[in-house]
Amino acid sequence: MKLPFVNFFGVLLLVLLLGGVACTYQVVKVVKPMIAPKEVVWKVGGVDYISATQLTKRLGAKVAETKGKTKSVTVTKGGATVQMTAEKDHLTYQSTHIFLQHPLKYQGSEVLVSENDVQNVLTPLLAPSLIPKKIAIPKTIVIDPGHGGKDPGATNNRLQLQEKNLVLAIALQLRTELSRRQYIVKMTREKDEFKELEDRPRVTGDVFISLHLNSSGTPNQSLGTEVHVLTRNQGSPGNAFNRWNTILGYLVVSRLVGVAQFRNRGLKMSNLAVLRNAMGPAILIELGFINHDIEAKKLADPAFQKKLVGGIANALDELKKVVIGCR
Ligand SMILES: [Zn+2]
């Protein structure tokens, strides 16, 4: 008997709801209380963004505007600093460029950062304790020397150098150093043999490190070290350790350039098969350019390789401290 009454209010509610949807349909700024109370989410090109000011509230950080031609802010937490400039494809964290999934935007008076990058880049860097997924304390490290056998990788014919041989030599030194520091080390190859890309991450461990050398189109042109982690977009969800990949990747690239005094080319996102099925945080390191003769000579020198190995091992020790601190 009460049905018509319910229907009347039901219809009224529906009209109000639709009205509400229609009202907010065209505007860019929407309130999304699901993420945090009173947090404003900006839709830009179908992507969710939040402002740097909101980000700082979420992470308990401080924000300050940086003077300059373009809109730029500095976010600080503890001793760590992130520099964000509108429309750039990367942010700068402690002097390292961290490339983003979506470029930073500028709306109203705010620099905006995508929700995806807040979760997968900024939270891991500035507030790792807020990462919901905890990981095992790194103990077993998988080292993957790139290429091998029929696949030489990049080459420098002037110096008679092949990527597959150099990365294997560096990997063997890394094994020795990590064993000395009480890690258990597994290798995807220990000699000059060919292994399929997809099979390499099937070697189980807490951390996966693939070692490679870079090569530019023109010899003796590009220099420096870069680290790659999986991209995270609709086409590729990354892997199960996206946020930890960021921490590991940042630590490795920054510590490597510190010991090698190589150019810091930053932390980049790439859709790489070798990282897709990793069983723990996973990175691919491009240690330097084999077709730049000055850099290649250093990369082929066992004493210099030892420095590189020390940088990677230091980064792993630091990762271990972060993991323990977040437990
Ligand atoms: Zn390679």
Regions in the chain scoring below 50 on pLDDT: 1-6, 8-28, 33, 234
- From the CA of 242, how far away is ligand 1's center (Å)? 22
> What is the Cα–Cα distance from 85 to 71, expressed in whole angstroms?
6
The pLDDT, as a whole number, for residue 29 is 55
Assign 259 to helix, strand or coil.
Answer: helix
The CATH number assigned to the domain with range 27-129 reads: 3.30.457.10
Active site residue 198: no
Is 0.85 surpassed by the pTM of this model? yes
Q: Label the pairing between strands 80-85 and 29-31.
A: unpaired
Domain boundaries, the chain: 27-129, 140-325
- From the CA of 300, how far away is ligand 1's center (Å)? 15
The pLDDT, as a whole number, for residue 14 is 42
The pLDDT, as a whole number, for residue 15 is 40
The pLDDT, as a whole number, for residue 198 is 85
pLDDT digits (tens, 9 = 90+) for 145-162: 999 999 999 999 999 999
Q: Are the beta carbons of 59 and 123 closer than 8 angstroms?
A: yes
What DSSP line would sit under 56-74, residue for residue? HHHHT-EEEEEPSSS-EEE
How does DSSP classify residue 110?
A: E
Assign 183 to helix, strand or coil.
Answer: coil
- From the CA of 55, how far away is ligand 1's center (Å)? 37
DSSP β-bridge partners for residue 105:
112
CATH of 140-325, one of 3.40.640.10, 3.40.50.970, 3.40.630.40, 2.120.10.80: 3.40.630.40
Q: What does each C-alpha distance from 169 to 77, 142, 197 come to in angstroms?
A: 39, 15, 19
The pLDDT, as a whole number, for residue 30 is 52
Backbone angles phi, psi at 41, to 5 degrees: -110, 130
- From the CA of 8, how far away is ligand 1's center (Å)? 67
Q: Are the beta carbons of 273 and 284 closer than 8 angstroms?
A: no
* Residues within 5 A (CB) of ion ligand 1: 146, 153, 212
Give the active site residue among 110, 286, 295, 318. Answer: 286
The pLDDT, as a whole number, for residue 17 is 43
The pLDDT, as a whole number, for residue 105 is 92
Backbone angles phi, psi at 71, to 5 degrees: -70, 125
Question: Which residue type is seen at 96?
Answer: T
Q: Are the beta carbons of 207 and 316 closer than 8 angstroms?
A: yes
- From the CA of 183, how far away is ligand 1's center (Å)? 25
